[in-house]
Structure formats: structure tokens, C-alpha cells
């Protein structure tokens, strides 16, 4: 039987206590687990159930839904008014 290690903490801070924790090899949270971040999240690629953060910077985000009005989402393709009207008439 393989034993697994476990660390139980209430919080993790960087060595100097002045900045974010660096996880150079990433992090894995079991399915159904919760990762709570107080502040900003900066990830390359994440596959998660829910992300709640003040700010999220990611290379790739795949989601079945977003909560909120989306007014602060950036880098999305924009459909101008003429295309939107044409798409409405076609469908």
C-alpha cells in the first residue's frame, strides 16, 4: 500500500511574508476540493469547477458558464453591430 503525505495548514505565505507563494510544479486539488485565493490568480491553464478571485490572469480558460455581467472580460472577439443584425436576420 502506498502512503500519501499530507500537510494541513490554515494559510501559506512566502518566505519573506511579503508576496505570493510560488508553486513552480503547479498544484492539484482533488475533484470537489476548493482552492480559495485571497487576491489575484495568475495561471497558465486551469481546469477547475469554480474560480473565485479578485482578478484572474490565464492563458486558457474553458468554462461552461461565467457569473457576472462580463463587462471586465478582455481579449474576446467582438461582433460589430452590422454583423449582429445580419446574424439575427439569418437565424
Q: Which band of pLDDT confidence, cut at 50, 70 and 90, is reported for residue 17? A: confident
CA separation for the pair 88, 82 (Å, rounded)? 10
Per-domain residue ranges of the chain? 1-91
Is the pLDDT at 15 greater than 80, yes or no? yes
Q: Which single residue is written with the C-alpha cell 495561471? A: 43
Close Cβ partners of 61 (under 8 Å, ≥ 6 residues apart): 46
Q: What is the pLDDT of residues 36-85, one digit of tens each?
A: 777 777 777 666 667 766 777 777 777 777 777 777 777 777 777 777 77
Q: Is 41 exposed, middle or buried (0-12, 13-18, 19+ CB in 10 A)?
A: middle
CB 57 within 8 A of CB 45: no
Q: Which single residue is written with the C-alpha cell 479578485? A: 54
Amino acid at each position: 500500500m502506498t502512503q500519501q503525505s499530507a500537510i494541513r495548514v490554515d494559510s501559506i505565505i512566502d518566505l519573506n511574508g511579503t508576496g505570493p507563494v510560488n508553486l513552480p510544479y503547479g498544484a492539484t486539488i482533488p475533484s470537489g476540493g476548493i482552492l480559495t485565493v485571497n487576491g489575484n490568480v495568475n495561471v497558465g491553464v486551469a481546469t477547475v469547477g469554480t474560480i473565485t478571485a479578485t482578478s484572474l490572469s490565464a492563458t486558457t480558460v474553458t468554462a461552461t458558464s461565467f457569473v457576472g455581467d462580463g463587462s471586465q472580460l478582455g481579449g474576446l472577439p467582438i461582433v460589430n453591430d452590422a454583423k449582429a443584425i445580419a446574424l439575427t436576420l439569418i437565424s
